[in-house]
Amino acid sequence: MLKCVLHRNPILTTIKLSKKPIHTPATGKAPVRRADPTLRDRSKAPPKPVFRSEVTDDNTNVKTTKAPAEKRAPRTDSTVHKDKSDSSRQRNHRFDGKLREDTEQKPARSASNDTRTTPRANRDEPQYRQAPRRGGKARDGFDANAPTYGAAAKAAYKSTAATDDLPRLSKLMAERGLCSRREADDWIVNGWVKVNGEIIETLGTRVAPDVEIVISGYAKEHQAENVTILLHKPVGYVSGQAEDGYEPAIVLVHPENQWEEDTTQKEFQRGFLKGLAPAGRLDIDSTGLLVLTQDGRVARHLIGEDSTVEKEYLVRVEGELSHDGLTKLNYGLSLDGVKLKPAKVSWQNEDQLRFVLREGKKRQIRRMCEMVGLKVVGLKRIRIGSVTLGKLPVGEWRYLRPDERF
């Protein structure tokens, strides 16, 4: 094909011929000029394609072709019926490319066989997520108390049938005197506790009361770092949190107030004040031995519900006490409608009584004396268990020695 190119020149106009072919489609055919879409009659819908089937000699393969638009037959009722026959229906899009079989039916699923909770008969069958039933997770067998992580915790949990009736591991450890419940929680989280040879790392795990509990050496080292301090509390300080403008007794625990005759030779560290709490209390008007400890075992031993540790007091009183009144102080008094445990009350001198109690209710000694006609003018605690106040000066403190036990 020749291409004409005109070059305009004010003097001379020439025509050059080029033998470069014009670009055509890859099919090799001449470009087709399409009709202008704006000239199409839009008052009528475009004709729909009509499919016809061609059956081969062996009647095994079905081939559908699309009739050209110019040879398309008019659409009639018989044609519509023929297009929807079994031999000419449209294929589905399954991976095997076969026609859908109307006779294929899935086996009916039993209403009692719930694939969410019961095993499937055929493991090859996919298990789909179903809508929840009325009743929620509890009806499906969900247990909110079951541990969510830790293979050992799950094994210990599943080994017991009725877990709600079993004690928690932290409580059992505290009851056995291994540590406090707070320490037990810390040890469990750190993986320092073994139950029947399995490490338990889940808080709230319930175990049988007779299980074997083994504590790691790391926990024992951590526990050995806890300190217990003996303070001679003066009058005017409260035992616990500050109240009514009075300072707590813990403010007296600093290096300047440490007793010079303390034989433990332990250097004071500010970390000892962290978690240091009173194990028992003394009224603001009372003085004497006050125990401050970081060790949960000591606190439970002294102020636990089942504690039977003796506490000895010297009480200065005013008034007259009959022989019957002294008997009542030992055996016959009740506070707040609850009978008190037997006490040991005797005269220390003409104006001072000696009390030995195994319990510690709020202002117990003062209220007991008021019930028998006595008024307390001074109270001092001199002993807790086998640990005595001794020569410890007022307002000073010392460490509990390794050889001392309450």
CA dist 50 and 386 (Å) reads 108
Radius of gyration of the chain (CA): 48
Phi first, then psi, for residue 185 (nearest 5°) are -60, -40
If residue 338 lies in a helix (H) or strand (E), which one and from where to where? strand 338-339
Phi first, then psi, for residue 335 (nearest 5°) are -125, 130
Q: Catalytic pick from 83, 185, 262, 283?
A: 283
Question: Left (φ > 0), alpha (ψ -120 to 50) or beta: where does 247 sit?
Answer: beta
CA dist 319 and 350 (Å) reads 11
CA dist 117 and 143 (Å) reads 13
If residue 300 lies in a helix (H) or strand (E), which one and from where to where? helix 296-303
Sorted by sequence, the CB contacts under 8 Å of residue 148 that are 6+ apart come out as 202
The DSSP string of 256-270 is GGB-TT--S-PPP-G
CA dist 118 and 307 (Å) reads 51
Strand partners for 246? 243
CA dist 203 and 181 (Å) reads 11
Is 124 a catalytic site residue?
Answer: no
CA dist 163 and 154 (Å) reads 12
Sorted by sequence, the CB contacts under 8 Å of residue 360 that are 6+ apart come out as 280, 281, 303, 311
Chain centroid to CA 209: 24
Chain centroid to CA 228: 32
From 173, 169, 176, 178, select the one nearest 295 (Cα to Cα).
178
Other C-beta atoms closer than 10 Å to the C-beta of 37 total 7
CA dist 228 and 99 (Å) reads 85
* Active-site annotation, residues: 283
